[in-house]
Chains A and B, each alone.
Chain A
Amino acid sequence: MIPDNLLPAAIVLTSLVPGLLIFVLGERRHVLRTVLNMTGALAKLALVGLLIQGVYEGRDFESRLTLAPGLDLVLNADALSVLFVTLSTVLWLVTTVYAIGYLEHSPHRSRFFGFFSLCVSATVGLALAGNLLTFVIFYEALTLATYPLVAHRGTPDAAQGARVYLGYTLGGGVLLLTGAIWLQSLAGPVVFTQGGMLSALAGEYDTQLVLIFFLLIAGLGVKAALVPLHGWLPQAMVAPAPVSALLHAVAVVKAGAFGIVRVVYDVYGVVLAESLGLLAALAVLASITIVYGSVRALSQDGLKKRLAYSTVSQVSYIALGASIFGPVATIGGVVHLVHQGIMKITLFFCAGNYAETLGVHRVSEMDGVGRRMPWTTLALTVGTLGMIGVPPVAGFVSKWYLGLGAVEAGSDWVLLILVTSSLLNAAYFFPILFRAWFKEAPARWPKERIAAGRLETAAALLWPPVITALLALAAGLFAAAPASPLEWAELIAQREYGL
């Protein structure tokens, strides 16, 4: 149906084209805009289905565009990119539904949905990037596409948040660009290769390779919110809830984490990274971030802020998995890419629902909210339990493999980090659940906008968290089933270690 060499490009275009069309649409063309959004999202899903099938059959997909002599924009699909593309596509579909419900009556919807689509296009583009140049291009494009979303509300807070966001991400972008170009001047075009592509340079250029690694990780660490580069993330919370959901689960933060995985496995190669001592450094960085984020989350009263610090902590599990030498830890890290996405998007949807339905923004206002909004709170419960790592929710699987991998690699201290972090997770999530389910509801909610009818809130707001919560459960329960995220992660680990 679609030639193999156009499929990756088509997957990017299914959100890019609707996005561009939406920009020129009048503000009141509500129906047409929704149709465009949904058509794009569904078409992308269908194409990703074709891609999964093709990659499974071992076909090669590659779209290539020459920008200048020796500079090629390459989109192709390997197991890792398929995993991330699938995650982005599924969650984009759900988030689009949610965003349509959430922004029903607010101004500038054309602008919002236009940039929203561009943001997803950039994410999918960097997932499919076949070389470092392409990755950098989409990584920067993602910065550009998300800036208007963070600034969307137009309040002084939003302007401030957007400015901080931009300062951090463009600064990080410059570091990444420097690292990428420096590396390219040593190694030629940096093509993502399973097992790494730099082993030929080892020995002669060790110092430069180490420096470049830290430049790249610093550039990626800004988006992945590695401490001390995480400062933008809590401030970017001023964005509307669907944006926070997408930023934290799929797009920005995950782009950074995905990039770290790419650099460790497909640029340096895990063996070279280990022998240069880079993995140990990354592991320390990730561990500090994990504990720091959790500690900061404890004292946040704003629900979204607490979730934001929780993201800082949780995303670093991915970096942690990448930094422990051994296939089991790799599986844990890579599968968390998906698991954290599904769980965190659920939590942000729920936070958005409380804010939009009842005007509840703070943890201290959540008393008894479970009885008023049982389904939302149930979804929240699944999400938080998953984050803590309670079986059978998906988060348990990630932590299990990470712990096992750490023991296997002889890094027993990582277990201590995992236990500490899980205890802290429990410490900042259980009070929320306790308040929501067991405390008495107040006589009046802060600002009740949507009255309780047959459903506790608008249908477009309710279904997305319920669906993603079910996905999070399913990913944990059926982790051993074929084509589960875990199985893809195993496939990826096998290939990276050449097993």
Chain B
Amino acid sequence: MIDWLALTVALPLLGAVFAVVLPTRARGIGMAAALLTTAMALSVSVQVVQGITLRSDLGGWGAPLGIGLQADGLSAALLVMANLVALGISAYALDYFDAGSRRHFWPLWLLLWTALNGLFLAVDLFNIYVTLELLGISAAALGALTGRREAVAANLRYLLVGLLGSMTYLLGVALAYTGLGTLDLGLAAQALTPGPLAWTIFALMLGGLLLKTALFPLHFWLPPAHAQAPAPVSAALSALVVKAAFYLILRLWLDLFGPVAGPAAGTLLGMLGAGGVVWGSWRAFRAERLKLLAAYSTVAQVGYLFMFFPLMAAAAIPRRQELFGALVLLALTHGFAKAGLFLSAGLLQKTAGHDRIAELGPATQSLPAVAFAIGFAGVALIGLPPSGTFVAKWVLLSESFASGQWWWAPVVLAGTLLAAAYVFRLLANAFGPGLQPGAAGGGDQSQCLVPIGRAVQAPALLMTLIAVVLLGLGAEPLWTLLQEPPP
């Protein structure tokens, strides 16, 4: 029997090894690994959808000793999103880097992918730490790939903050091991009882992960790191890496800390989330550079995710499931939309030679497919219909009215309007008098635009279309997938 779960993690790792050994073939190896890994992740998810419980204990060692992998609805949903986005980023990256950077990009990128898949499938607190560490290191290395001073500085800070986060988490793990005698999620959950020990473990693990997921006000490291990285890397950082830490918070909150995490903790997270929505959106609105705008918008979108927590903590089971589905839908939609936005930003930057929003008019008009991708991504970031964000926000708002916690609503609405303001700053660039060669103004500028091929525009457009159409109109099965209460 094929061990699908192990292959999902092992294939990109294998690819990374080969890419190091054969640097001249890195591109081909990387793309082959990308395709195979995605196929594997999809088949895992299909099996989960069919109701097959997947669990694999590597080397035949079961819990509590061995390395266990397991897939449920939540991990399947994120696995699909992460692998499709990663595949899109891989296709985009084929021609993005010059020969020198390419050799470094592919091994690191596949390593990051390994960490991601491992993280989504891990069921053991220590293995989670390992994947988290691997993720942080490979992400920071990728971010500094260009070697420019600002990029290196930003990503060094990113690395240190990441280390601080994972170390804090590790402290929590160590405490859990001494206190509970196990690292397996299921066994630990059974052993954990509310009390000072549980509270300390909870605070340490959560604190570390909040830093990594960039919840306001712990977001300070994110904008420079995401804005300075090469576009495909920014896309991965914003869409996937941040989301991985968020996934862990959600996982631990649901599976481990259910009895410990009270409404007060939920409200605290919600308030920080609300702060992130307002602050992130405002800074995005004020940003002068496209990639910085996209990075601050991530801070805001992460904020929305945390605004679900106080409502989920207060809701009874059927409403709780609705909220949970909407929360996952929001995370998935943001993954696709933000990746698409960063890839589009990269194309504009390449063609115009800069990413100053005010001067991107000619570049935007010369690349209609990119303009559309930005438009779709914008629809998803604002939360306009028919995007998945709209459905998620609708559920969030109706629950906040229904539960009497109506004060979350003005924050969501203000964030929505601010998002509209920053997105349409970008889209206004798509309309101009037209690029007539020889005409004054537009003509001169269009001369210095670097031409961009059609194929490289496809991943961004496809990903944003998924965010807007597929996740907006066809997301209902997600609730069924997540229905089964996590063990």
Contact = CB atoms under 8 A, between A and B. Distances in A.
Contact of B475 (A67, A70, A158, A166): A67
Contacts of A152: 431
A108 B476 contact: no
Contact of A73 (B401, B409, B473): B473
B394 A71 contact: yes
Contact of A158 (B417, B431, B473): B431
A178 interface: yes
B427 to A, nearest CB: 8
Given A166-B424, A170-B417, A144 B379 contact: yes
Contact of A68 (B322, B368, B427): B322
Given A67-B475, A107-B434, A181-B397, A162 B428 contact: yes
Nearest to B477: A66
B368 A111 contact: yes
Contacts of B181: none
A111 B402 CA distance: 42
Contact of B431 (A138, A154, A166, A178): A154
B401 A163 contact: no
A414 B394 CA distance: 40
Interface residues of A, number: 41
Nearest to B425: A163
B479 interface: yes
B386 A141 contact: yes
Contacts of A299: none
A65 B413 CA distance: 26
A69 B394 contact: no
A136 interface: yes
Contacts of B413: 174, 177-178
Interface in B443-487: 472-473, 475-476, 479
Contact of B384 (A144, A153, A184): A144
Interface in B374-413: 379, 384-386, 390-391, 394-395, 397-398, 401-402, 409, 413
A190 to B, nearest CB: 11
Contacts of B472: 67
A63 B397 CA distance: 26
A141 B436 CA distance: 31
A155 interface: yes
B317 to A, nearest CB: 12
Interface residues of B, number: 38
A292 B322 CA distance: 47
Nearest to A107: B434
Interface in B355-372: 368, 372
A69 B325 contact: yes
Contact of B395 (A68, A140, A171): A68
Contacts of B401: 181-182, 185
Contacts of B424: 147, 163, 166
Contacts of B390: 137, 140
Nearest to A65: B473
A159 interface: yes
Given A136-B385, A159-B431, A171 B475 contact: no
Interface in B312-344: 321-322, 325-326, 329
B143 to A, nearest CB: 34
B433 interface: yes
Given A67-B472, A68-B326, A163 B428 contact: yes
A68 B397 contact: no
Contact of B417 (A73, A107, A148, A174): A174
A67 B431 contact: no
A272 to B, nearest CB: 21
B386 A154 contact: no
Closest 4 interchain pairs by CB? A185-B401, A137-B385, A151-B431, A185-B402
Interface of B: 321-322, 325-326, 329, 368, 372, 379, 384-386, 390-391, 394-395, 397-398, 401-402, 409, 413, 416-417, 420, 424, 427-428, 430-434, 436, 472-473, 475-476, 479
7 contacts: A65-B473, A68-B325, A107-B436, A151-B431, A152-B431, A163-B428, A178-B413
Given A69-B479, A70-B322, 6 more contacts: A67-B476, A68-B325, A68-B326, A71-B395, A138-B385, A148-B431
